[in-house]
Amino acid sequence: METRRHPFTSTARAGDVHLRVMETTDLHGNLMPYDYYNDCPDSGVGLVQVARLVDCARGEAANSALFDNGDYLQGTPLADLIAQGRGLRPGEVHPVIAAMNALGVDAATLGNHEFNYGLAFLERALEGATFPVVSANLVVAPGDTPLEDRTFVAPHVLLDRLVVDGAGAMHPIRIGVIGFAPPPLLLWEQHRLSHRLRARDIVEVAQIRVPELRRAGADIVIALAHTGIGAPDHAPGMEHAAVPLAGVEGIDALLTGHSHQIFPGPDFAAHPEADLAAGRIAGTPAVMAGFHGSHLGLIDLQLRRAGRGWRVVESRSEVRPVAPEIAATQPHRPQPPPVGRRAPASAGPAALALAAPPIHDSAARVETAVAESHAETLREMRRPIGTTPQALHSYFALLGHGQTLQIVAEAQAAHIGRVLKGTAHDGLPVLSATAPFKAGGRGGPRNYVDIPAGQLCLSEIASLYPFPNTVAALAIDGATLRAWLERSASIYRTLPSGGGEMALLDAEVPSYNFDMISGVEYEIDLTRPPRFGADGRRLPSGPGRIRDLRHAGRPVADNDRFVIATNSFRAGRGGRFPGTGGDAIIHQSDLTSRELVCRHVAARRRLSPVAAAGWRLRAPAGRAVLFDTGPGARDHLDEIAALSPSPLGLTPEGFLRLRLTF
């Protein structure tokens, strides 16, 4: 099949060079197009699928380079098996690294999830990389300035390449590549890092390190920034720093990630610094390529000689989905749709997938590199653990019907109760905080737990708890408990006085920041404004949404004492929940939450029917709201009969929209 050449290549003149910068980001261990949780193919994810697009994209441009933007080592049962199951064998290359080697990655940076398994494992995994890994703001020995820091990996690298211009002449070019990670990772992973790592502010480091790269001879500078596109104004230590970073002089192309979004794309249509047509942030060419291998990001740079160097004279950015027509009507159990057709108009002009042959050399090489680990993971995931007498799902977890969360909560509370025996906290009531990790959101309409009644295999347990968090416990008082619940309640929008339907959920608040606390009873009043914003910052005081908070039938007083079982992410201030971190932590285990749940289920063999949650939503009688969930929820509407669910069809994104009436 004839390859279509990009206009920057086909129209280039002598002295003009077309350089295509390609991005993968937030792969999270997704190598094969496979859903390990549901044990079926999924053509919408995986580096094998991205590899097909990479081959096409390379063929369209005279010159290209491929970069990964972090969060590649964690996120699937395959990744957990290698890190927490059997470990890396002597001389073995980590399958994710082997796949990236096979694809020809030119350089990569580190995301926060690279540290989920500890520094020793990360260092061992990176040994197998045939490409440089850079990160300028992660420091093991800080100096007086960033230039004097001893960084965890190289802060940046210079790639010496030969490029061809429009007349066929070859030219040397020196590409500077610098990496950045979100500074809050030190809080999220403090129990694993043990103060052996520090993180500087992204923008502060860039302002010093980028000029250093230029002085070292970089003709162009590409920033691999594992950070989201957030507020325009810089704030020290900010997590989503792409916009102020784009304003740092000397950066020619900005690869972003971390927030699992698409840029250019409609998520940023209202952002004041986003130019979707050109694909620029604050005037700098930029891209963000989704997550799990869902997209390939492209920045096309037209370079022109400027004295002894090069300058960017024009640029375009786009993202290409690996499977653009995973239909909105697709069942909740993934089925492999066709690949390589034109995206629907709703995907926007930047989301075009070129037709591709069934397989390319790069895809075959990646598949070969990971085949053994993939087969090993399938065998492990199919191992029986126990049985369940009822279907377990998370379609209505945000409505107070969270059977899957109750299982995790029971396991956490029982474990913490045992480990605190004989300690100063023995005898305090043990509560348990759990959040629905798989409840739609940016993960899409298939991002739900859906386990039928019957045999439970390890794949289902992994679906209940997909992250490698470890078990933790904190000591809190009644006032902190109430504030914790208020932080969780920020996921709901405020119902205004009067009529009119509106969406129940605030799309800016991810479900993993909605903790349900078992062991107490409470109501969430939807007519009252939240006490916390989507980012966890406290809002102007008001009466709060949490009403009738009780423990053992008695109102909770501010000075009541509790132990709360949770996970390492939350204990380490993940989500900025009140009362977390520091001296509040009274237990930090090496036991992963998933292994705890696995032991809990295996010890019982057959799960008992799951009790109802001890909380509910409060709204005026007769008030209607709109609630989006997975299409598989149709089979379980009887469970929320009290809310009179009325299906309204599928949204353009594929969610089932329900009208609920209180």
- Do 500 and 624 form a contact (C-beta atoms < 8 A)? no
Burial class (CB in 10 A: 0-12, 13-18, 19+), 215: exposed
Confidence of residue 324 (pLDDT cuts 50, 70, 90): low
pTM of the model: 0.87
Give the pLDDT confidence of 438-475 residue by residue, as tens digits.
999 999 999 999 999 999 999 999 999 999 899 999 99
**In angstroms, how far is CA 19 from the centroid of its own chain?**
29
> Tokens standing for 280?
């620029």
Query: What DSSP letter does each residue of 34-75 carry, written as one string?
Result: EETTTTEE-TTS-HHHHHHHHHHHHHHSSEEEEEE-S--SSS
Average pLDDT of the segment spanning 533-555? 93
108-114-115 Cα angle (round to 5): 140
At residue 318, φ and ψ (nearest 5 deg) are -155, 165
Show the domains of the chain with their CATH numbers.
Answer: 7-378 (3.60.21.10), 384-661 (3.90.780.10)
pLDDT at 541: 75
Give me the percent of the chain exceeding a pLDDT of 70: 93
pLDDT at 355: 30
From residue 443, alpha-carbon distances to 203, 259, 260, 346, 640 in Å are 29, 11, 8, 18, 23
pLDDT at 609: 66
Confidence of residue 329 (pLDDT cuts 50, 70, 90): very low
Average pLDDT of the segment spanning 327-339? 30
Task: Examine the pLDDT at 348 and tell me if it is beyond 80.
Answer: no
Task: Examine the pLDDT at 75 and tell me if it is beyond 70.
Answer: yes
- Do 591 and 470 form a contact (C-beta atoms < 8 A)? yes
Give the pLDDT confidence of 100-154 residue by residue, as tens digits.
999 999 999 999 999 999 999 999 999 999 999 999 999 999 999 999 999 999 9
Confidence of residue 66 (pLDDT cuts 50, 70, 90): very high
* Nearest partner of 434 among 590, 593, 579, 552, judged by Cα: 593
Bridge partner residues of 313 (DSSP): none
Lowest mean pLDDT among 251-260, 359-368, 440-449: 359-368
Average pLDDT of the segment spanning 87-94? 95
> Rounded CA gap, 571 and 588, in Å?
9
Confidence of residue 21 (pLDDT cuts 50, 70, 90): very high
Task: Examine the pLDDT at 243 and tell me if it is beyond 70.
Answer: yes
pLDDT at 81: 96
> Rounded CA gap, 655 and 440, in Å?
8
Average pLDDT of the segment spanning 399-414? 93
Give the pLDDT confidence of 150-170 residue by residue, as tens digits.
999 999 999 999 999 999 999
Average pLDDT of the segment spanning 319-332? 58
Give the pLDDT confidence of 165-221 residue by residue, as tens digits.
999 999 999 999 999 999 999 988 888 887 899 999 999 999 999 999 999 999 999
In angstroms, how far apart are the furthest CA atoms of the chain?
Answer: 82
Mean pLDDT of the chain: 91
Give the pLDDT confidence of 1-19 residue by residue, as tens digits.
456 889 888 888 898 999 9
Confidence of residue 354 (pLDDT cuts 50, 70, 90): very low
380 vs 327, residue with greater confidence: 380
- Do 406 and 613 form a contact (C-beta atoms < 8 A)? yes
Task: Examine the pLDDT at 409 and tell me if it is beyond 60.
Answer: yes
At residue 44, φ and ψ (nearest 5 deg) are -90, 5
